[in-house]
């Protein structure tokens, strides 16, 4: 075979190979424009038409549309469709892609995501607890706005709130009592944005459900109590770890803790857990008693067992102007405007005559602290007047507040020993702050906490009315006040028990 023939054959073979392999391969390598579908960052396939998947989802999810009365159902939140180029990858049908994703991620509907920003708090150990954000989903913004309004009215008198909103509050006339709301605001930052809501989230469709959640922090059925004969609101509240205010918030059909209950009546006794902090600042003018003092006179012609009241004490009265800050219906702080205090009636002191004559050595009284052994009779109010009881002896958020908080007298104002006794504690503790405990030598103890300063030391004998410290805000305290507690036994020791300090007065 000559050279020319060899060249001809070789050329023919090359041309055949080109025809057999190169040309067909070139035909199958034409690039195609498609859409790649990702779910949670992972590719689930290719489709030729982006809109077809949205349309197919909406058609197949008619049940979801009917449930929420939605106009359209959308793809899962983590689904992403990106334009892509392919040469020979298989292209899935819309139905195939739908079947791949329907059981992995929930489909979505248009609505609103509301975020209530959490606020840092301090726990009972004095540690900072980071506030948790609350996320709420609604289909209609009006549902959220009405639910918020309902919840606010759980904490604020509805008529007063309307007058505040409409700027219709009347000034308090001279010599009269009353309350003016100066400001109401939600301390938490709240943001609202339109979004696609995953269908497996809790979606609030009506005002009542969302109002319940905002007040109690749950949609579970609230705990109920059936009223028995003789029950009062105060009794039912205390026995179920509620304050009177919390009971009234949970049972808005009652307007006052003095409202009557009837046997067989069902009331809510669940502890409220508001999902935001509503701050209310009030200007209040109220009447307040002025305690009377007791003057003791001694008669050496009468025996030591003799005691006679020759003048009965009479309480006075005064008009007190206060600025009070409440959070979710509970008083957090109170400041009294002493310059506006108006005395309506002066108190009349009580005068008591006691004998000092002894019946002989065998009949004498015990030496030492015999005069300190009384719980009955007159006890001195531990702060100056006027004052404001910012928190009584009661449950707060399910925990017993084992004393009463007395505010309004001002930072550094004097704190008095309520009765005679021996100082058995004068120290600092993270929760009580600067505090003092007095043993009244009859089983009863009083505690004075959150002081700015302490003026007495352990072992010191004090008399009723002695200044033992100054009002402050040390320890775990909100606002300047005195925590005044009454205990049977040394406070917080084994076997001791707290009592309502108001039982002394």
Query: What digits encode the pLDDT tens for the residues 332-349?
Result: 889 999 899 999 999 999
Domain count, the chain: 4
Backbone angle region of 368, left / alpha / beta, with phi > 0 → left and psi within -120 to 50 → alpha: left
Contact between 315 and 292 (Cβ < 8 Å): yes
CATH number of the domain to which 364 belongs: 2.70.70.10
Q: Is residue 131 part of a domain?
A: yes
The verdict on 199 and 129 lying in the same domain is: yes
The verdict on 14 and 101 lying in the same domain is: no
Please give the radius of gyration of the chain, using alpha carbons only, rounded to the nearest integer. 38
* CB-facing half-sphere around the CA of 448: CA atoms within 13 A: 29
∠ CA 458-462-467, rounded to 5°: 100
* Mean pLDDT across 345-371: 66
The verdict on 137 and 101 lying in the same domain is: no
The verdict on 53 and 2 lying in the same domain is: no
- Between 20-34, 83-97, 154-168, 348-362, the lowest mean confidence (pLDDT) is in 20-34
pLDDT confidence of residue 372:
37
pLDDT confidence of residue 406:
96
> What percent of the chain has a predicted confidence (pLDDT) above 70?
90
Domain boundary among 205, 240, 268: 268
Greatest alpha-carbon span in the chain: 163
Q: Where are the beta strands (DSSP E) in 402-480?
A: 404-407, 414-416, 421-429, 433-439, 444-454, 461-462, 467-471
Q: Is residue 113 part of a domain?
A: no
> What percent of the chain has a predicted confidence (pLDDT) above 90?
68
Q: Is residue 151 part of a domain?
A: yes
The verdict on 378 and 478 lying in the same domain is: yes
Contact between 284 and 321 (Cβ < 8 Å): yes
Q: Go through 79-111 and write b for each residue having 16 or more CB atoms within 10 A of its CB, e for each that does not.
A: bebeeeeeeeeeebebeebbeebeeebbbbbeb
* CB-facing half-sphere around the CA of 36: CA atoms within 13 A: 11
pLDDT band at 402 (very low <50, low <70, confident <90, very high): very high
Cis peptide before 198 (omega within 30 of 0): no
104 secondary structure, DSSP code: T
The verdict on 353 and 258 lying in the same domain is: no
Contact between 500 and 415 (Cβ < 8 Å): no
Q: Is residue 466 part of a domain?
A: yes
pLDDT in tens, 8-45: 445 545 555 554 444 444 444 678 888 999 999 999 99
The verdict on 282 and 417 lying in the same domain is: yes
More confident residue, 125 or 419: 419
Q: Is residue 250 part of a domain?
A: yes
503 secondary structure, DSSP code: G
The verdict on 322 and 389 lying in the same domain is: yes
Round to whole Å and give the CA distance between 324 and 179.
10
H/E run at residue 3: helix 3-17
Residue 315 has pLDDT above 70, yes or no: yes
The verdict on 302 and 435 lying in the same domain is: yes
Domain boundary among 81, 105, 129: 105
More confident residue, 485 or 34: 485
Residue 330 has pLDDT above 70, yes or no: yes
- The pair of three-digit structure tokens given for residue 245, joined into one six-digit string: 């205010």
pLDDT in tens, 108-141: 999 999 999 998 877 666 678 888 899 999 999 9
Q: Where are the beta strands (DSSP E) in 199-277?
A: 203-204, 224-226, 266-268
The verdict on 92 and 228 lying in the same domain is: no
The verdict on 147 and 82 lying in the same domain is: no
* Mean pLDDT across 460-474: 95
pLDDT confidence of residue 9:
46
Mean pLDDT taken over the chain: 88
* CB-facing half-sphere around the CA of 183: CA atoms within 13 A: 9
pLDDT confidence of residue 362:
37
* Alpha-carbon distances, residue 495 vs 238, 428, 487, 489, 498 (angstroms): 21, 23, 11, 7, 10
pLDDT confidence of residue 364:
34
Q: Is residue 319 part of a domain?
A: yes
pLDDT confidence of residue 186:
96
Round to whole Å and give the CA distance between 43 and 36.
7
More confident residue, 376 or 35: 35
Q: Is residue 110 part of a domain?
A: no
pLDDT in tens, 61-88: 999 999 999 999 999 999 999 998 887 7
pLDDT confidence of residue 4:
54
Contact between 40 and 80 (Cβ < 8 Å): no
Residue 496: domain span: 278-504
pLDDT in tens, 204-262: 999 999 999 999 999 999 999 999 999 999 999 999 999 998 999 999 899 889 999 99
Round to whole Å and give the CA distance between 228 and 98.
60
> Which among 33, 493, 505, 39 is positioned nearest to 289, based on CA atoms?
505
pLDDT band at 360 (very low <50, low <70, confident <90, very high): low
* Mean pLDDT across 306-333: 92
Domain boundary among 72, 105, 138: 105
* CB-facing half-sphere around the CA of 442: CA atoms within 13 A: 14
For residue 404, give every residue at least 6 positions away whose Cβ sits within 8 Å of its Cβ, in sequence order, or none: 389, 391, 392, 393, 483, 484, 485, 500, 501, 502
Q: Is residue 475 part of a domain?
A: yes
The verdict on 47 and 133 lying in the same domain is: no
H/E run at residue 5: helix 3-17
């Amino acid at each position: 075979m000559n050279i020319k023939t060899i060249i001809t054959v070789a050329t023919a073979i090359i041309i055949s190979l080109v025809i057999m392999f190169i040309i067909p391969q070139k035909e199958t390598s034409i690039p195609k424009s498609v859409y790649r579908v990702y779910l949670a960052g992972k590719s689930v396939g290719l489709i030729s038409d982006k809109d077809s998947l949205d349309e197919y989802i909406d058609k197949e999810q008619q049940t979801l549309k009917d449930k929420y009365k939605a106009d359209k159902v959308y793809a899962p939140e983590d689904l992403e469709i990106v334009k892509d180029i392919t040469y020979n990858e298989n292209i899935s049908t819309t139905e195939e892609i739908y079947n791949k994703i329907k059981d992995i991620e929930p489909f979505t509907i248009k609505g609103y995501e509301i975020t209530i920003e959490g606020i840092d708090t301090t726990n009972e150990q004095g540690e900072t607890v980071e506030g948790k954000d609350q996320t709420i989903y609604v289909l209609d913004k009006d549902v959220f706005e009405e639910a918020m309004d309902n919840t606010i009215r759980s904490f604020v008198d509805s008529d007063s709130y309307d007058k505040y909103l409409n700027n219709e509050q009347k000034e308090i006339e001279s010599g009269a009592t009353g309350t003016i709301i100066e400001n109401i605001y939600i301390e938490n930052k709240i943001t609202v944005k339109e979004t696609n809501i995953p269908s497996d989230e809790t979606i609030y469709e009506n005002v009542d459900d969302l109002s319940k959640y905002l007040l109690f922090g749950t949609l579970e059925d609230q705990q109920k109590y059936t009223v028995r004969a003789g029950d009062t609101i105060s009794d039912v509240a205390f026995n179920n770890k509620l304050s009177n205010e919390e009971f009234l918030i949970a049972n808005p059909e009652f307007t006052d803790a003095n409202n009557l209950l009837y046997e067989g009546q069902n009331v809510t006794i669940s502890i409220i857990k508001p999902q935001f902090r509503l701050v209310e600042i009030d200007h209040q003018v109220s009447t307040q008693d002025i305690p009377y003092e007791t003057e003791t006179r001694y008669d050496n012609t009468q025996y030591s067992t003799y005691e006679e009241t020759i003048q009965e004490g009479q309480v006075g009265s005064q008009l007190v102007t206060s600025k009070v800050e409440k959070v979710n219906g509970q008083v957090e702080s109170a400041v009294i405007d002493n310059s506006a205090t108006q005395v309506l009636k002066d108190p009349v002191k009580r005068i008591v005559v006691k004998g000092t004559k002894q019946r002989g050595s065998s009949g004498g009284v015990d030496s030492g602290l015999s005069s300190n052994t009384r719980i009955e009779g007159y006890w001195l109010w531990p702060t100056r007047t006027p004052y404001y009881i910012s928190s009584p002896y009661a449950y707060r958020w399910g925990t017993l507040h084992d004393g009463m908080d007395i505010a309004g007298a001002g930072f550094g104002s004097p704190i008095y020993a309520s009765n005679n006794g021996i100082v058995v504690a004068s120290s600092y503790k993270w929760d009580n702050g600067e505090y003092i405990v007095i043993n009244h030598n009859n089983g009863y103890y009083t505690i004075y906490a959150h002081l700015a300063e302490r003026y007495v030391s352990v072992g010191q004998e004090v008399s009723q009315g002695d200044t033992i410290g100054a009002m402050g805000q040390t320890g775990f305290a909100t606002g300047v006040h005195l925590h005044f507690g009454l205990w049977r036994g040394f406070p917080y020791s084994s076997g001791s028990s707290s009592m309502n300090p108001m039982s002394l007065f």
